Amino acid sequence: MNPAFTRFFREKTRFPSSNQKRIPIQSFPVPQHYTVNFETNTIKLPKIEPIKAVLHRKLKESLKRLRYQGHLKDITTSVSLVEDGKELPVKEAFTESTTVGIDVGIKDFAVLSTGEKVENPKYLKNSLKRLKVLQKRVSRKQKGSKNRAKAKRRLAVLHDKITNQRNDFQNKLSFRLVSENQAVALETLNVKGMVKNHHLAQAISDSAWSSFVIKLEYKAQWFGKTVLRIGQFGPSSKLCSVCGYHNKELQLKDRE
Give the CA distances from residue 135 to residues 129, 141, 152, in Å, rounded to whole numbers and listed in that order.
Answer: 10, 10, 8
**Can you give the residue ranges of every domain in the chain?**
20-82, 96-254
Residue 31 backbone zone (phi > 0: left; psi -120 to 50: alpha; other: beta): alpha
Return mean pLDDT, the chain. Answer: 80
pLDDT of residue 213: 93
Handedness of CA 227, 232, 234, 235 (dihedral sign): positive
As a whole number of angstroms, the distance between CA 57 and CA 42 comes to 13
Confidence of residue 151 (pLDDT cuts 50, 70, 90): very high
Residue 32's SS3 state is coil
DSSP state of 239: B
Is residue 118 within 8 A of residue 112, CB to CB? The reply is yes
Q: What is the pLDDT of residue 148?
A: 94
Dihedrals phi, psi of 63, to nearest 5 degrees: -80, 145
Average pLDDT of the residues in 238-245: 63
Report pLDDT digits (tens) over 156-193: 999 989 999 999 999 999 999 999 999 999 988 888 88
In this prediction, residue 3 carries a pLDDT of 66
Radius of gyration (C-alpha) of the chain in whole angstroms: 25
Q: Are 77 and 161 in contact (CB under 8 A)?
A: no
pLDDT in tens, 31-50: 777 788 888 888 888 888 88
Question: For residue 130, what are the contacts with CB-CB under 8 A and spacing of at least 6?
Answer: 158
pLDDT by residue (tens digit) across 116-143?
A: 999 999 999 999 999 999 999 999 999 9
Say what percent of the chain tops pLDDT 90: 38
Percent of the chain at pLDDT > 70 equals 68
Answer whether residue 105 shows pLDDT above 80: yes
37-52 in b/e form (b: 16+ CB < 10 A) is: eeeeeebeeeeeeeee
- pLDDT over 70 (residue 107): yes
pTM: 0.69
Is 63 buried (19+), middle (13-18) or exposed (0-12) by CB count in 10 A? middle
